[in-house]
Structure 1
């Protein structure tokens, strides 16, 4: 209780301070004077005196009773009313007036107390509404700050994986999550884990690449909405509990852009899930849409870089075709004519060697032009390699088997091009020299980021020596091992060839997966 406000006087002094005190005092003195005057007259009887004293006493008693009633029925309620007003003005909305048992002030006190109760409830409700609105405004402010940060980061990030990992921690803080993951959708309907936080190591090993339609992730992507469920569904696939309590829910935040499904955030939170209700759900949905825009922008930027490289190489191939290829074609025709003209002449062998040399140069140039014009599929390295293998099968009739562990491997466009050219050169050697019936291409990847591409055939094999690692056929056509080795060096890797006559040939390209641009820039 708040103490009485300043100015409160004790209730006992109410009549003495009132203007009614003097008239009452005057009536009492008048009665005393009248009674005294009657008693001082001579010759009055004893009965008169007794009656006079009785009337005087009755009058004084009436004055005293009136004073007491006025104090109890008027001044005391007014004092309570004043005390209530002072307490109310001092901020004590719990102040109440004692309700008399009867009298006019009983109903007034009851009405005033009801008014106080209504005022207190209204104030309490107002404080609650103000507090709720303040919290809502603070939440909206934080949401706008996050959205502004997302929008600003879309144009300023250097690496998409780094951006997604950064906002994984932001979403974890927003939802108060225990753990979280962010995944991107691959071309073969798999969800590749980009980053994680708060999850045990055994979960990361088993959940690095999962089918999109396996659990809640697929449902959230299909509907494009934020949704949640018990984390026991994820634990069923992992095979053991992921957290120390079963009361954990997983919230799926899809990353979409214009209806295109791109990835998903998984946030593991304590039940009952989203604490902010619809506001938090709307925030997560908006963040997912903005980050979906960033993912699509990254894809378009990468495609633009790839197309720029392809355009440059295609233009170079056209230049070679229109200049050097035409010149070599003319020389080949002239060398053939010269060989026919020298039939039977001692210089015929030299003319034939010259024609073979020009033919070899022309063949290698045509192969080089074909390399320049061979496009890298816009979807990435694996689709381009599959397209290359399909064309090889059609042209040669040789069976080619591809085994890949590179489904989630992401290489810069220039490195993808080098890998594709090595595979293309290896297949060209198979077609030209191996007499093989079967070819196997194995794409493997180790946990340390070591990537390998093995191209092996069951052909006639080759004879390799340390002095002549780049084998030449009897016609002088170059196998292209040195060219493949140079491409391997551009990848920062190595290339080896293993072959024996009758045992086929094995070409092995080994390189390390490059770090993200952000990590590479941070390295000393």
Structure 2
């Protein structure tokens, strides 16, 4: 299909414009010619009239001369008027007058005849007339009139000859005018016929051919073609239509094949999506690391019809690959390849390069870092009958975590979509492994933090109690050694009280750390904690709850409950209070307030900083874990208020 621009002269628009301009030019030329002929004829008619008027004026001048002679009066006005009229008429015939119009024929014979008339007038007749004007009536005789009449006859004859010549030329032009009009009529008819024929040939016939071909195409006759009979716009349109018809014919002929290919492509895409969905679903389920890797390699081998495979995790510390899962391996091969260095074997080379690789196991390769041609890698998987292997990376956000391999005992070629799918599966597996490792680290960190809090609680309660008991035991030993039975008897009740207090502390800690919560269950857990505190201390505790906000997540509820337990434990041990109140407001923000009317304390004293700060530090650490703020308001002898505030933004983030 041509894409070159059309020649303007050969284009349809150029031909139509050219034809229109030609018709316009011929029409204007013919009309201009007829107008010119009609103007010439009108001017010659005026010339005939003026030439005829010269005869009349010549005769009138002769009559005026005779009248002057007979009447013997000197009235020369008619003579002068006739002479002037003849002079003006001859001048007008010689020069012409476009305003009338008056035009003499451009004919040599007419011009000679006019010059003869002018000569006769100026040389013979006009002098006789002027002489009559200069002669008085007394002196006048009939000789002037007779001489004038003698010259009048040849003058009039010459005028008649001039008129005949002009009339002959006018008749000739009339004939040409009629011929021109007939030619114009004939050209109009011929031009109309020619335009109709050309328009039919240039426009109507190509449109009819195009219409016929379109109709055949509508009837599914895809072999329909438009004949290319010109190189104009319709020729280019016919060429484009034929190209389109050829494409449609090929599409129709190969439609079944294309449908089959499209169906195969869709089936392949659906298979890839199914594999990706099943694999990601499996990876998102809770599994141990070994079971996760084993299930992944088994599903991958099944999806890609491989004959075997393995999965190795990479140790960044010692740059080694550890075999985690296999299928299709012999026990000996699994034992031999349990640990590989990065750069050894095909797996090590692929791991060191950081790229997915496809290998023909029949072709040995050199390990990385070796330049000796004699040192080549002969993989164990090739000894088991595998011909091809595909090695794909397990990574997460650029971090190399390991590789997995697929082995084939036949000449299997992995297409580019399959390779991209395997790389994507490796990335999903890497995300699952990294998530599992991060979850394990988070659990270990949480356990470490809880151990730290338990250690602080033991130090604040049991450790101090056991230290007190140790001192009392030492005093009791000294009393026994000195046989101071009275002092020994006094020490025994202190030992019993210390043991009972330590037992209560241990029991309280066990109950606190066994607390379990469900979302929305914090009010009941608080009531249970307050009831247990009341049974231990017999102190009255009032609980006020306004709970019209959303439920807190379980982790935040548990930390808030631990803070309440720690605050009540401090009240039991140190406050010497007679009344306790707990207020909970759960609206947009969450607020917990714990008040007592005990002895209070001074936060700035050195004694407090050294001995009684452990419980408060535990509460602060738990508040920080949920991004809450903990404020303590206390004065000596005026009680204490602990205010825990969890803002809306932090509770939503949780």
Q: Structure 2 length as normaliser, TM-score?
A: 0.32
Q: Which has the larger radius of gyration?
A: 2
- Higher RCO, 1 or 2 (CA under 8 Å, sep at least 6)? 1
